[in-house]
Structure 1
Amino acid sequence: MKKVRLYPTIQLTWILLVTAVFLGFTSSCSNDDDDETPVRTTHKVVFKAQASAGSNLDTAVYGYDTTLTTTQNIGTTWTSPEITVPANAVNVNIAVNGNGPASSTLKVQIFVDGQLKKEGTSSGQILSANANYTF
């Protein structure tokens, strides 16, 4: 019986062909869900600001993406009306300015669907705090 010897290039071709077929079967059988885009929904958002006693909050600018609302002369504690943010919105923002005694503090908060998502703080005589939350 005569031994048949395959040339190295033919052997390499067969190895590559078998490997390619094997990889084709394994990749077609994978169940990879990374390509699915998450479903975006609307959100109920409330913004809050609270300064220490003796402080005065002058201006609040709040909203989503480029849809912003400005409120002035808001006192020491302020809560925005609840807004419904559309499903295609990317982020929500709040910025509040005010002043008070040298040891004043200011805290701003973003609540999304009833849960605190982001908080920003400021301290000193001139107060300026902001927060941003991305969906």
Structure 2
Amino acid sequence: MKKSKIQQIIQYTLVVLVTAVLLGFSTSCSNDDDDDAPARQSHKVVFKATASAGSNIDVAVYGYDSTITTASSLSGTTWTSPEITTPAGAVNANIGVNATGSSSSSTLKVQIYVDGELKKEGTSSGQILSASANYTF
């Protein structure tokens, strides 16, 4: 299946946008003097995307902090990432997904699960679908 020029532009834009967001959120304060702060711990994270019937998921960009994975050449209405174990110092989990809807009423939902619990969702609707979500540990 050959991608249209618009789909290629949207895919490229999503990758650049999510990368910029991930790099921007990955900075943290290292001079905190708060000794009462809870110890950071590692987390098990799973990312999911679900599109309405007749839609097609194209690409997913996901990860934590500046550790990013791109899953391209996807197809179908559902996608689930492999489980990722974040290091104890991780700050954010992020996902961005592009899909093509079958009509202007098509929908796309992305979800971030942390330690088996749904923590964040993002949605999009229309024929050109792009949904993202960010969760801070």
Q: Same fold (TM over 0.5)?
A: yes
Q: Distance in 1 between the 2:111 and 2:38 partners?
A: 26
How does 1:28-43 map onto structure 2 within 5 Å?
35-43=35-43
> Which structure has the greater CA radius of gyration?
1
Q: Distance in 2 between the 1:59 and 1:35 partners?
A: 42
Alignment TM-score, normalising by the size of structure 2: 0.72
Alignment TM-score, normalising by the size of structure 1: 0.73
Structure 1 alignment gaps of length 5 or more? 1-33
Q: Distance in 2 between the 1:82 and 1:41 partners?
A: 16
TM-superposition CA deviations, 1:75-131 (whole Å, max 9, x none):
210000000000111100000001112211000000000000000000000100000
Identity %: 75
How does 1:4-83 map onto structure 2 within 5 Å?
35-74=35-74, 75-83=76-84
Greater relative contact order structure (CA < 8 Å, 6+ sep): 2
Structure 2 alignment gaps of length 5 or more? 1-33
TM-superposition CA deviations, 1:26-70 (whole Å, max 9, x none):
xxxxxxxx7412111100000000000110111100000010000
Show the counterpart of 2:92: 91
Q: Distance in 1 between the 2:37 and 2:126 partners?
A: 44
User: Which runs of at least 4 in structure 1 moved beyond 2 Å after TM superposition?
Assistant: none
Equivalenced residue count is 102
